[in-house]
Structure 1
């Protein structure tokens, strides 16, 4: 602790800051709801404590000495830091926050369209979304909840399942009109397929796995367009550039709006799916609990619909 902090009272420094800002003991007294004489006494006591003159008394006012100006700059910076910290702490108390980690696709196609309902129910909770399209490691990031695509092992460990991996080919109405009908895997295999890169395909179903599991059919990927981002792939499908793989739960809104057509006869379901991970189980909180309950409620309602 500095010598000034030991000898100067916080109230004395506050009076000094006000007087220095106004360059007037009278104006400082008005702001502090005090008297000119009381302010003058506080300043004189501070000067005696520090052994330094802080003001020069001039005709009809005061001006800062060199020492007074240096102290004024430091005191203003210190009070500003204290005020910002108090504001931040009070905001955190009034507006608890929850950090969610998920991939671009889930954030764009599932979470964001539904999030206004959560904010209507919990307007005091600030939601922060962290997205990553690669491998999602919530242990290395400051997040409270992770919504990730889970394999059978993760789901067996107790991670709540939001919805299963339920997939089917999707394309634009115009593409289907031009290239259809596509009633079976044989016809599908001859169509231009939009493909995710291997990193994504290893987590989700890719076209070779899809053809093998649905019909025992070997299909080598020969698509003209390959993406490392599912949202871009879906935009390409909407634009009529080929057939993409659609995940139930992610493409629902675009199907309802007629932007995409789902080839439902070629549907395939796997035991994997999106799960809700408590990234910090040792750190409970009201905001995190509310978010978890809301996500599970939405998924249950949609699965039962």
Structure 2
């Protein structure tokens, strides 16, 4: 039976919660700006409605009964849930939230380093980054903007952000030890770090890279295979092999001397990253500001 069926007053529950928290009708009355007798009457009415004794009246105070303690815990939990929900809704109203979906690679090496600038320009907008290394599917998800990798057909209707330019990268120490790496033949002889594409991703892998640049040189078996690009990059920085680097993602690491790019073995494709407005009918200022900022950068 619901509370409405029992006609339990929400105000009665509030009075009960205050009395149970203070273990005093007088203290509860002071908090609620009421009187001790009014609090006592409302508690008595609640007990009659529920058919339960919630308090034992003892000398100079009250004590919760077992049912009273159980109800007190439940009411406190319920009030806390209501208050948290109201707070969350108010914060969402004050600070509009944007949900951005992209992959680990772009989030780590392209978006996050730029994000402080957006937050400085728009401190009232909360940005939530969701990452996925597999094939993207934002249907049924709470996503406003998706920044995804794909070919021209897959990015039809998207705003192009980055074209795919790929080149081998390794640590300076690795190049000192194994270099020079000045052609495909030598590249095929050194340890290669592989980013798997076992979920149908369309980024370039080593076999595709070698095939596009010649087709006759087969790379040696990879020593390490990753399904996470940031981990692969960390392995390259640690000198464990040569990885494929994407222009726009590894530039900063090269400028800081953590990686060396073998630009002479660079390869461009028609693939790239594009920005998709998942709900174009949604014209919120926060989303428009983020998209304009992305394009201006």
- Can you list the C-alpha shifts for 1:91-118, whole angstroms capped at 9, x where unaligned? 3223332222222222221122222222
Superposed, 1:26-175 pairs within 5 Å as 26-44=26-44, 46=46, 54-64=54-64, 68-69=68-69, 71-139=71-139, 141-155=141-155, 157-175=156-174
2:235 alignment partner in structure 1: 236
Residues in 1 aligned to 2:265 and 2:40: alpha-carbon distance in whole angstroms: 86
Q: Please say which of residues 113-122 and 143-152 is displaced more in the overlay.
A: 113-122
**Take 1:243 and 1:78, find their aligned partners in 2: how far apart are those partners?**
56
The answer for the alignment partner of 2:253 in structure 1 is 254
Report the CA distance between 1:275 and its aligned residue: 1.0
Q: 1:41 to 1:111 in 2, by over 3 A?
A: same
User: Does the 8 Å contact 1:194/1:237 carry over to 2?
Assistant: yes
SS at match of 1:273: strand
Equivalent-residue separation in structure 2 for 1:47 and 1:151 (angstroms): 68
Distance in 2 (alpha carbons) for counterparts of 1:204 and 1:177? 28
1:279 partnered with 2:278: yes
* C-alpha separation in 2, matches of 1:38 and 1:200: 66
Equivalence for 2:195: 196
Deviation at 1:202, TM superposition (A): 5.9
8 Å CA contact 1:197–1:226 kept in 2: the answer is: no
Distance 1:128 1:3, change over 3 A: closer
How many residues are aligned here? 296
TM-score by length of 1: 0.82
Corresponding residue of 2:11: 11
Which residue does 2:292 correspond to in 1?
A: 293
Change (3 A) 1:201 1:193: farther
Distance in 2, Cα, partners of 1:161 & 1:39: 66
- After TM superposition, the score normalised by the length of structure 2 is 0.84
Map of 1:263 onto structure 2: 262
- CA RMSD of the aligned region, Å? 3.0
1:189–1:23 CA distance, 2 compared to 1 (3 A): closer
Partner of 1:221: 219
- For structure 2, the 5+ residue unaligned runs are none
